[in-house]
Structure 1
Amino acid sequence: MEKVLQKLPELPNAAGAKDTDLIFLRGLMESPIIQSLAKVQTRLEEPKLEAVRERNVELVHEIVEDFAAMSQQDGRAAELLNILQEPHFQSLLEVHDSVASRSYEQLPCGSEGFGPPGSGGTQDIMLGEAVRVVGIRKMDGEPLGVTFRVDGGELVIARILRGGAIDRQGLLHVGDVIREVNGHEVAGDPSGLQNSLRDASGSVVLKVLPSYTKPPFSSQIFVKCHFDYDPTTDHLIPCREAGLAFSQGEVLQIVSLDDPSWWQACNVQGGGRVGLVPSQTLEEKRKAYVRSDFDLTPVGGSLCGVRGKKKKRMMYVSTKNAEFDQHEILLYEEVANMPPFQRRTLVLIGAQGVGRRSLKNRLIVADPARYRSTVPCTSRQPRDDEYDRKSYRFVHRSDMEADIKMGAYLESGEYDGNLYGTRIDSVRNVMSSGRTCVLDTNPQALKLLRTAEYMPYVVFIAAPPLAVLQAMHRMGLDAGTTNKQLTDNDLKKTSEESNRIQQTYGHYFDVTIVNEGLDETFKKLLQVLNQLTVDYQWVPVSWVY
């Protein structure tokens, strides 16, 4: 595998392999799972140790008899004779012979403890309840990482948080019934039990009825969060102390999906403990249901649940993409960690007048070998100083309308009686040249672009606060960089539009840069783009598999 990884940079020219295929291959071979499997395979291929011979105890007895006479004449023979007669050496030989002959001693079926019922043997225990006494060591203030539920009047372990004190000690399992804590019987009160365990320190003795269930399989799912979560304000969570807070844009590793309402996860960037987060199903119910139409109070011993059937009704019009996007529910997105690679497209999103086009032009001029843009199409007639395929591709209106209906355009619109648009094949032509295609499209086009074919890196150019925006406009007028006079109302609309775009399409953005000055914003843009060639990147899992 090391030789293959070293040869990967030479494969594109030698075998005609695609860059994306090589990126996927490198990410696959460098993943911890594949590396572990390779080590296991190497270990299995190692030659097995075999015994040279069996019955070595008899051989040593013969050597001792032969050396008995020589030991009186030779000191070295006497020393060897003493070593061979040592009890520890004799025991070592017996173990070696047992392993070499594979004659391991087995317990007979008629051993003590397996007598008839009533004899006090093990069978009486198996016929009754096999109660175990478990001792747990707990540090003062340390969370145990366990929650409970009521089942038939008994307290049952509902979940064990990965990495917690209970999980590390491995003495309790999901489904175990708690009968006593430090000699006191436990009633059907999970909150009281959790409080008593939280306040306890040192040795905690539990009497449990084991469930004998197999431990769950550890998950290797990574998700990007598209909403903020604070467990301290969530009244549905079984245990607020066990909750894990996160912010929009953070990546979580889901370590357990056993509970349909509460996943166990840890933060990839910050590391740390495993905690409870709402599942996709539970959070969708909370987002889709009207809060005033149902009661969220847990009932019947259930520690989490959603009641009620009344849903929010809304009419969606497919032609109005912006209105449809405002009501889209995107909570978690499964992602994969990829090695550094150059994205195929760079998409600059922002409100009108925020500086997207200026940044695009400066980027292409600064590095034309790496970045290039498309030539837009229009149905208007060319002016005297315009040439076809330089600033615009001039197309007949009827042909452009037919291509729009056929889906040949990434985006299109009408201004002053003329059609304007960007063809999809123009984006593909730039990508096929090996450059990154720079686009400053409307945010509605992100749904078409965010696929494995285009692999976009989406940068949101956010408008600064209104006061800063007004000052920037005055500086532009004084410097002569712009001659378009904007009123305070125009600048206010720009700020409001920027906030609306971020709220509606923020889950598509890879990075957000606030434009408080074109020079400084361009430097920040170059920094984040250069990091793509250095850092691993979290991308949608659909781009990889």
Structure 2
Amino acid sequence: SLVFTQSCYFNTLPHLKHLEDSTTGTNDNLIPCREAGLGFQRGDILQIVNREDPNWWQACHTMGGATGLIPSQFLEEKRKAFVPKDWDGTGPIIFKFKQLFFFPQHFFYSVMGITSRRPRDDEQDGQTYQFVSRMEMEMDIKAGRYLEHGEYDGNLYGTKIESIHQVVKNGRTCILDVNPQALKVLRTAEFMPYVVFIAAPEFDTLKEMHKAVVDAGITTKQLTDVDLKKTVDESARIQRAYNHYFDLTIVNNNLDAAFETLQARLDKLFSEPQWVPVNWVY
């Protein structure tokens, strides 16, 4: 998932735009009165009438006027738990996407990763990675200073939360390429992110795209059909589990078209109001 942390302009009226379907009135065993539940679909806009109860809010549809109870954000987060596998979401789109860093009108900037591995002969500290000791990384991880971290080939890698703050403090829009489990930490009023999911295309399309980038010399990494099938399956799984965190989903059927879609949406992001979670405002 690609995440843009930025300052947002938004309407402060208590409305919600829902990012997932709900049949609260019939299927939720926690609701105090099942007949009072209000069902809604992804994209429906609800006006919040009363939020005094920490678990159940009273809301009404802006189109149609039906009123009822919906689960509060606190209740939804409390009862949902995801245990996802790590997924390497990096793909050819990233090569094109990095061109955004050269658009001065938006001041994009990417944070630098941190690792405990030793620098290679052609690497210098602060160019591709910041190199630190394993002990230092482990201490900072235990102290909660990392947005995400993992271990590969015996070395730790991660992204520090302070690195994001520093980019925003400098007046830049921070671009992150993160694993989906980091979205729960990022999607807060502290960062105000705009989350873009670059979804894998169908298997045959992905296979053709991979052959094209190999033939063009963009990458020398040869992926098998098993690797490509795993990418498609993992992309679908992530979309099912984390769809409600995404502000925009782009299926990467064509590199140029995907990039143009992303570029057009980012232009609007800086010029139009955006929907944000209610607790970013109240």
Q: TM-score, normalised by structure 2?
A: 0.79
2:3 is matched with none
1:273 is matched with 64
Alpha-carbon contact 1:256-1:265 (below 8 Å) kept: no
**Cα shift at 1:428:** 1.2
**Cα shift at 1:354:** 3.7
Pair 1:245–1:472, CA change in 2 (3 A): farther
Residue 269 of structure 2 is aligned with which of 512, 524, 532? 532
Task: Give the aligned residue type for 2:243.
Answer: G
Alpha-carbon contact 1:227-1:248 (below 8 Å) kept: yes
1:469 is matched with 206
Alpha-carbon contact 1:265-1:274 (below 8 Å) kept: yes
Alpha-carbon contact 1:222-1:251 (below 8 Å) kept: yes
**Cα shift at 1:518:** 1.7
**Cα shift at 1:377:** 0.9
**Cα shift at 1:523:** 0.8
Distance 1:391 1:261 in 2: 47
Alpha-carbon contact 2:58-2:69 (below 8 Å) kept: yes
**Cα shift at 1:467:** 2.0
Alpha-carbon contact 1:356-1:440 (below 8 Å) kept: no
User: Aligned with 1:507: secondary structure?
Assistant: helix
User: Aligned with 1:457: secondary structure?
Assistant: strand
Pair 1:424–1:224, CA change in 2 (3 A): same
Distance 2:280 2:58 in 1: 25
Alpha-carbon contact 1:353-1:494 (below 8 Å) kept: no
1:247 aligns with 2:41: yes
Alpha-carbon contact 2:202-2:232 (below 8 Å) kept: yes
**Cα shift at 1:359:** 4.6
Pair 1:404–1:534, CA change in 2 (3 A): same
1:489 is matched with 226
1:455 aligns with 2:192: yes
**Cα shift at 1:263:** 5.5
Distance 1:262 1:451 in 2: 20
Residue 441 of structure 1 is aligned with which of 174, 178, 203? 178
Alpha-carbon contact 1:357-1:440 (below 8 Å) kept: no
Alpha-carbon contact 1:351-1:497 (below 8 Å) kept: no
2:17 is matched with 224
Distance 1:249 1:441 in 2: 25
User: Aligned with 2:65: secondary structure?
Assistant: strand
**Cα shift at 1:474:** 2.1
Alignment of 1:342-491 (within 5 A): 352-355=89-92, 357-367=94-104, 370-491=107-228
* Residues 271-311 of structure 1: CA deviation (Å, up to 9, x unaligned): x4212566328xx89xx8xxxxxxxxxxxxxxxxxxxxxxx
User: Aligned with 2:275: secondary structure?
Assistant: strand
User: Aligned with 2:117: secondary structure?
Assistant: coil
**Cα shift at 1:412:** 1.1
Residue 541 of structure 1 is aligned with which of 272, 278, 282? 278
Alignment of 1:257-268 (within 5 A): 265-267=60-62
1:181 is matched with none
Distance 2:57 2:259 in 1: 43
Alignment of 1:162-241 (within 5 A): 221-229=14-22
* Gap runs ≥5 in structure 1: 1-18, 32-220, 289-315, 327-349
* Residues 196-249 of structure 1: CA deviation (Å, up to 9, x unaligned): xxxxxxxxxxxxxxxxxxxxxxxxx42232432579x98x9869xxx9874324
Alpha-carbon contact 2:44-2:61 (below 8 Å) kept: no
**Cα shift at 1:390:** 1.1
* Bigger-Rg structure (1/2): 1
Distance 2:122 2:91 in 1: 28
* Gap runs ≥5 in structure 2: 1-5, 28-32
Alpha-carbon contact 2:46-2:59 (below 8 Å) kept: no
**Cα shift at 1:356:** 5.5
Task: Give the aligned residue type for 2:61.
Answer: C
Distance 1:395 1:539 in 2: 36
* Residues 109-144 of structure 1: CA deviation (Å, up to 9, x unaligned): xxxxxxxxxxxxxxxxxxxxxxxxxxxxxxxxxxxx
**Cα shift at 1:252:** 1.7
**Cα shift at 1:437:** 0.5
**Cα shift at 1:435:** 0.5
**Cα shift at 1:515:** 0.8
Alpha-carbon contact 1:374-1:427 (below 8 Å) kept: yes
Which fold has the larger relative contact order, with Cα–Cα distance below 8 Å and residues 6 or more apart in sequence? 2
Pair 1:274–1:262, CA change in 2 (3 A): farther
- Identity between Structure 1 and Structure 2 (%): 46
Pair 1:429–1:264, CA change in 2 (3 A): closer
How many residues get paired?
A: 265
Task: Give the aligned residue type for 2:145.
Answer: A
Pair 1:230–1:510, CA change in 2 (3 A): same
* Residues 354-413 of structure 1: CA deviation (Å, up to 9, x unaligned): 446335422213448610011111111112221111111111111111111111111111
Alignment of 1:306-321 (within 5 A): none
Residue 510 of structure 1 is aligned with which of 242, 247, 257? 247
Pair 1:434–1:264, CA change in 2 (3 A): closer
Pair 1:250–1:507, CA change in 2 (3 A): same
